[in-house]
Amino acid sequence: CVPTEIDGKNVILTGILPQEEIQKMAAWQGGMIFKKHEGCKAKINVIDENQDAPEALAERRALQNLNENEVILGSDYAANNGLAAGDTLELLGEKFKVLTTLPATGTVDDGRVFAHLHTVQRLSKSGEVVNIIEVMGCCEDVANGLVGDLQSLLPGTKVVTIANVVETQVSINRMMTNLSYLFLAILIAVGGASMASASFANVMERRREIGTLMALGATPRFVTQLFLAKAALLGLAGGITGYIAGSVLAVFLGPAFADVSVLPVPNLAFISAAIAVLVTIAASYIPARQAARLDPCMCFKEV
């Protein structure tokens, strides 16, 4: 960060490397809402096919490229000085083109001017040094002692945190996790009850077929395994179908309603299928045992 003047007004010129800086901002500000927190390793996939429309990318914090003769303006600075994309301004003796304006964040960044880090280092004649390092997307790590670790790693530096932001982010993460577990438990309970009810109905409807099988020599164990195998196949099909449908809906509805990009997680396909199979087997066990205890004579008597 370099203090300077533009048209007699003080401003902080901040050097950034967009591909690193902006991606971290995107991940921290919402790109990871529906994914497990990954601390400082958090990344988001940024698609630059619309790089010719920087204002749209700035809105999503997805800018990747910033030429050495371009600057990005904070929302407050742009509004107060009547600047917009395509305008030019002079900084430290050189003219720069305004690439775009960042959306308001409610932080000091709204009043700053951002340029390429290498350009700022060259114009300020400071050499290859930095005077501020922003660590983003690490709220849980901060709560677990990251500040102390950084102070030990970088002696002589001042390490500060935005306490309210950290506390709020950690609280939101925990709340979302607890809500996810609650919804999962409710869905499993409802799904299991529905499967158990359907299995009981199936046993009642097929009493004659069950009696015929047992009269032909089928053992109670075979009947039990037959119903459990059917339940497992239904659970497997339901788990895979649910994963595909949920992923498709998340990909399309995430940007539309939550303004975040959601990508499918292949590992969840195996987890969802396994959970679905276990739930259907558990829900069908009692109906299957009931079918195995049927008396063939009583089944034929009802025909």
Average pLDDT of the segment spanning 151-165: 71
In the chain, count H helices and then E strands: 11, 6
pLDDT at 233 exceeding the cut of 90: yes
Question: Percent of the chain scored above 70 by pLDDT?
Answer: 74
Closest CA to 16 of 80, 76, 63, 77: 63
159: confidence class by pLDDT, cuts 50, 70, 90: confident
More confident site: 78 or 62: 78
Note the pLDDT of residue 61.
45
49: confidence class by pLDDT, cuts 50, 70, 90: very low
> Between the ranges 47-51, 83-87, 118-122, 241-245, where is the mean pLDDT highest?
241-245
- Global confidence as pTM: 0.50
> Between the ranges 15-29, 31-45, 86-100, 190-204, where is the mean pLDDT highest?
190-204
The answer to whether the CB of 287 falls within 8 A of the CB of 196 is yes
Average pLDDT of the segment spanning 72-88: 85
| Cα–Cα dist 264/284, whole Å | 30
More confident site: 139 or 71: 71
Note the pLDDT of residue 176.
87
pLDDT at 228 exceeding the cut of 90: yes
Q: Provide the CB-side half-sphere exposure for 219 (13 A, CA).
A: 3
pLDDT at 219 exceeding the cut of 70: yes
